[in-house]
Chains A and B, each alone.
Chain A
Amino acid sequence: MSDLTPSVPAGFNTARVTSESPLVRWLLVAVALLFLVFILFLPLMAVFIEAFRRGVGAYLAALKEPDALAAIRLTLTVAALAVGFNIVVGLAGAWAIAKFHFRGKQLLLTLINLPFSVSPVISGLVFVLLFGAGGVLGPWLATNGIEIIFALPGIVLATTFVTFPFVAQQLVPLMQAQGTQEEETALSLGATGWRTFCTVTLPNVKWGLLYGVLLCNARAMGEFGAVAVVSGHIRGLTNTMPLHVEILYNEYNFVAAFAVASLLALLALVTLVLKALLEWRFHDAIAAGVNR
């Protein structure tokens, strides 16, 4: 428009020309709503309703069960380790990609995003092939008494693989958009590289980093397929929460299964809320990754 006409307030339908008739609109909204309720909300509701089917007492008892507690502990540990690793590598990779020019940048990016395209089961398979009893390093590990598969390290590795791209994917576009000027200024003022990183770069990317960590964590805690392959399903030892849910369900212990599942569902909801909050408040400070 040539005028500086202020943007029309929302709800104003000046666009009679560029919109569907009200009837069509309401119809489309209704269909979309029905679809979403059926596909999304139904499963979500089912988790909580089934969890409380025998009342609050049974619900709490299921959660206090030692194996359940062990599963929760393991999940938290694995997530912390995987997310921690991915933060370090993600920051390093994003720094290298965003602040420098070098050949193979695009290749590096593609490789970093590779785990997104790999089935979770395959993500676990690769580690079994490497560290499993019949795997490449299997015999060597056995003679040295090192357990990777069917133990914590294997689970951490598989989870790290699956969640590898999340942090880097948020940081790279963000740091690229922010450029190198501030860092160069700091350096020219005499700061060391490390100090520059901590006091200039990190604060600039903190919201993007937080966003990436949020997504990374949600996936790390909830990962099932990859962990199922490497864990051996040993109750109380190598069961993460999702695996524990599987075991309980297969034993027809539905209430307990859904009780543990409800914790994971709560985690998902909290993740969604935080995600929406971060997007709303800090959308300029967050890059929109391919998978939001």
Chain B
Amino acid sequence: MSVSVTVEGIEKEFGVYPALRGASLTIDGGELVAILGPSGSGKTTLLRVVAGLEQPDKGRVLFDDLDASTLSLRERRIGFVFQHYALFRHMTVLDNIAFGLRARPRRYRPSSDEIERRALELLDLVQLSGFEKRYPAQLSGGQRQRVALARALAIKPRVLLLDEPFGALDAKVRKELRRWLREFHDQTGHTTLFVTHDQDEAFELADRVAILNEGRVEQVGTPRAILEKPASPFVADFVEGTGRSTVRGSVQGDTDHDHRTASVSILRRMPAGTI
């Protein structure tokens, strides 16, 4: 599904605490966008507002041209992967994945054979065939991650939302899964939005990155654009050190050689097709 997502001027307060102060963002269909920012910047809140888990005080979310506030949570068809996966521990992997299909009202529910078939298909897609009878407790972190993804995909979501997808995994698994997620995205083409505080992760994975600070989107752009032209001192500060494993110093003051090296090193980290 490649639905575009438009976020317009979202404001959200929790009591006296303003989590979002007018955040706006446009995501084209099929894009993989990262929401990046420090703790407390409101990025998870923004994700949850898009998902429909929180109601904004002001502003709205549009899917293509459809105002999301007219939709119930089920009608929104959001695929959400929680940071700690939130798998149903008392259900097998298959039952977890099939849950969304079985939860449909009778009218829209496929036959139970069909449900099982689709669930197995998804299991195959996330490369976990053979795991259908296992329980979440018997899976590794990376495997649970993929089951959560398959479960979210089962309902053919408009948009895929991932909350710190690799936050709970160790470094090595994280790196592998990053690569895997990018390939997966290229293969399936869902509009995907993910939240992270890890700059390297955001810049390596995403088509575009939205940088959040104190409830507002400070800049949205391709990783290279952000690195070359940070829109504010905060952004410049924040992304300093990202993608610069071979280069020291700011981009502006570099010699041509260094500048090219910086670009090359960034490009090398970026998956093909995004430039």
Contacts and interface: CB of A to CB of B under 8 A. Distances in A.
Contacts of B55: 14, 16
A135 to B, nearest CB: 51
Nearest to A14: B54
B39 interface: yes
B53 interface: yes
B41 A14 contact: no
B43 A3 contact: yes
B110 interface: no
Contact of A4 (B40, B54, B163): B40
A38 interface: no
A6 interface: yes
A3 B45 contact: yes
A17 B52 contact: yes
B202 interface: no
A117 interface: no
A264 B48 CA distance: 54
Contacts of A39: none
Contact of B83 (A1, A5, A17): A1
Contact of B43 (A2, A6, A9, A14): A2
A12 interface: yes
A8 interface: yes
Contacts of A14: 14, 54-55
Contacts of B73: 17
Nearest to A1: B44
Given A14-B54, A17-B53, A5 B15 contact: no
A1 B40 contact: no
B164 interface: yes
Contacts of A4: 39-40
Contacts of B40: 3-5
B19 interface: yes
Given A2-B163, A3-B40, A9 B14 contact: yes
B39 A3 contact: yes
